[in-house]
Amino acid sequence: MGTYLKRLSLAGYRSYDNDFEKNTIDFQKLNIIIGANGAGKSNLVSFLEMISYMMTRGLRSYVSRQGGGNSLMYFGPKNTDQIRGDLLLQDLTGGKTDQYSFALELSATNQLFFAEEKMEYQDQRYSSPYVQDFGVGHFEAGVADSGDVTVRTLRGCLERLKIFHFNDTSISSRIRSSTNTADGGYLRADGGNLAGFLYRLKKNEAEYAYYQRIVRYVRMILPQFYDFVLEPDENGYISLNWVQNGAEEVFGPHQLSDGALRFIALTTLLLQPSVSAPMTIILDEPEIGLHPYAISVLAREIRMANKTSQIIVSTQSPLLLNHFTCDDIITAEYDPGRQASVLRRHTSDELKEWLNDYSLGELWEKNVLGGLPV
């Protein structure tokens, strides 16, 4: 893992108020976000998702899908003038940092435009940082259009802040649909090319060991599962077909349960080769629809993926939380006094005595960690 998200500040976005300094959180290689419904976990994830859209000229599309710019502003435009963000990216040595900051304001057409956009690159070998100001008034990120080599490097890092949603497993979902075999370069955020991605791993000799590992982990949760049957049709399209142990009949993706399909997608994402893995993998409640044992296996896969990727997980599962340490945890809570979401980290020292008698999941249920409705 070369570069990772070190720090995030946000203000004026959904449940996060306009106090920029207080809405700052440090990230580590592994981050498990807990909190009650409506506490701000998903809003934090969606803020990162918005930034990912910005890097590919997708801000207007994102804003439209969310119901317009006014729906993204803390208590609406009467209370919030700007949505602000500041991200600090750092390499593993700590010697190089990229900082990206922006402010968004509401237009007359209920879109968001840039009132400020800057980036700063600092290399400890040099006394002065490299600074780029992208100006004001534009509706898509200036960093997305720049041909500057340094800016392109930053853009590439921010593009790799990937939020994965495998929740849509309906009959008509993309994850159950066929995909072109050529669409296997990277796993899409909705798993829509899952079959094509697995086909690539299976056919590539250098990556076949990763494919075999994925199959082994799927068998741990689906004991009747033997292997995928990934055979393109005459038009080069492929479906997520599979066979059972000791059987010849080939089953299709529509014969996988929602939970089984989500687990296959999560396992493929987390156990893929490091060469294609995102810089940062962001998961919003990945435990949905999973059996308790599957959640335990998922936790193991998260730790394996964390060797090469930064991981940010939002969860409602005390069972999943039990597999991590208190240093990994960020708690999102709603502060009635501020009428806003707040984020805080925990340390092993502050919970040392509690941890002698209780698991992290139990401490969460007892509200020692916070993050429960009050």
Average pLDDT on 269-287 reads 94
User: Structure tokens of 210?
Assistant: 């990763």
DSSP assignment letter at 60: H
**Residue 258: predicted pLDDT:** 95
What distances in angstroms separate CA 342 from CA 19, 23, 348, 363, one per listed residue?
10, 7, 20, 19
pLDDT of residue 188: 94
64-73 pLDDT, tens digit per residue, is 999 999 999 9
Report how far residue 314's alpha carbon sits from residue 33's, in angstroms, rounded to the nearest whole number. Answer: 5
pLDDT in tens, 296-352: 999 999 999 999 999 999 999 999 999 999 999 999 999 999 999 999 998 788 888
Burial (CB count within 10 angstroms: exposed 0-12, middle 13-18, buried 19+), residue 75: middle
Place of tokens 């980290």: 345
Query: Whole-angstrom Cα distance, residue 100 to residue 135?
Result: 13
> Using a CB cutoff of 8 Å and minimum separation of 24, what contacts does 96-99 make?
96/3, 96/121, 96/122, 96/123, 96/124, 97/6, 97/121, 97/122, 98/3, 98/122, 98/153, 98/154, 98/157
- Residue 168 tokens read as 């849509």
Please identify which residue in the block is written with the tokens 């207007």: 60
* Helix H or strand E encompassing 346: none
Residue 109, pLDDT score: 96
* Res 374: pLDDT: 53
Nearby residues of 314 by Cβ (< 8 Å), 6 or more positions away: 33, 34, 41, 42, 44, 45, 283, 284, 285
- Buried-exposed string 142-166: b where 16+ CB fall within 10 A, e elsewhere: bbbebeeebbeebbebbbbbbbbbb
Percent of the chain with pLDDT over 90: 81
Q: CA separation (Å) from 61 to 77, 233, 257?
A: 20, 34, 32
Q: Which residues contact 302 (CB under 8 A, 6 or more apart)?
A: 30, 270, 311, 313, 323
Separation between Cα atoms, residue 258 and residue 222, nearest integer Å: 13
1-160+325-374 sits in which CATH class?
alpha beta
Query: For residue 288, what pLDDT is reported?
Result: 93
**Which residue did the predictor score with more confidence, 352 or 14?**
14
Reading the block at residue 215, the tokens are: 């199959």
- Give mean pLDDT, residues 184-209: 96
pLDDT of residue 273: 96
What integer pLDDT is reported at residue 349 of this predicted model?
Answer: 82
pLDDT digits (tens, 9 = 90+) for 25-60: 999 999 999 998 889 999 999 999 999 999 999 999
C-alpha distances out from residue 221 to 52, 66, 199, 214, 345, Å: 32, 35, 21, 11, 33
Lowest mean pLDDT among 9-18, 62-71, 272-281: 272-281
> Residue 87: pLDDT above 60?
yes
Q: How large is the average pLDDT for residues 128-132?
A: 93
Query: pLDDT category, 373, cuts 50, 70, 90?
Result: low
3-class SS of residue 43: helix
State percent of the chain over pLDDT 70.
Answer: 99
Give yes or no for a contact between 27 and 327, defined as CB atoms under 8 angstroms apart: no
Phi/psi region, residue 195 (left: phi>0; alpha: psi -120 to 50; beta: rest), is alpha
Q: Is 45:313 a contact under the CB 8 Å cutoff?
A: no
Torsion of CA 192, 196, 197, 199, to 10 degrees: 150
- Residues 246-264, mean pLDDT to the nearest whole number: 94
For residues 160 and 156, what is the distance between their CA atoms, to the nearest angstrom?
6
Concatenate the DSSP letters of all residues of 192-245 into one string: TTHHHHHHHHHH-GGGHHHHHHHHHHHHHH-TTEEEEE----TTSEE--EEEET
pLDDT at site 1:
53
Domain ranges of the chain: 1-160+325-374
pLDDT tens per residue, range 160-185? 888 999 999 999 999 999 999 999 99
pLDDT value of residue 314? 95
Q: What is the pLDDT of residue 59?
A: 97
Q: What is the mean pLDDT of the chain?
A: 93
Residue 234 has pLDDT above 90, yes or no: yes
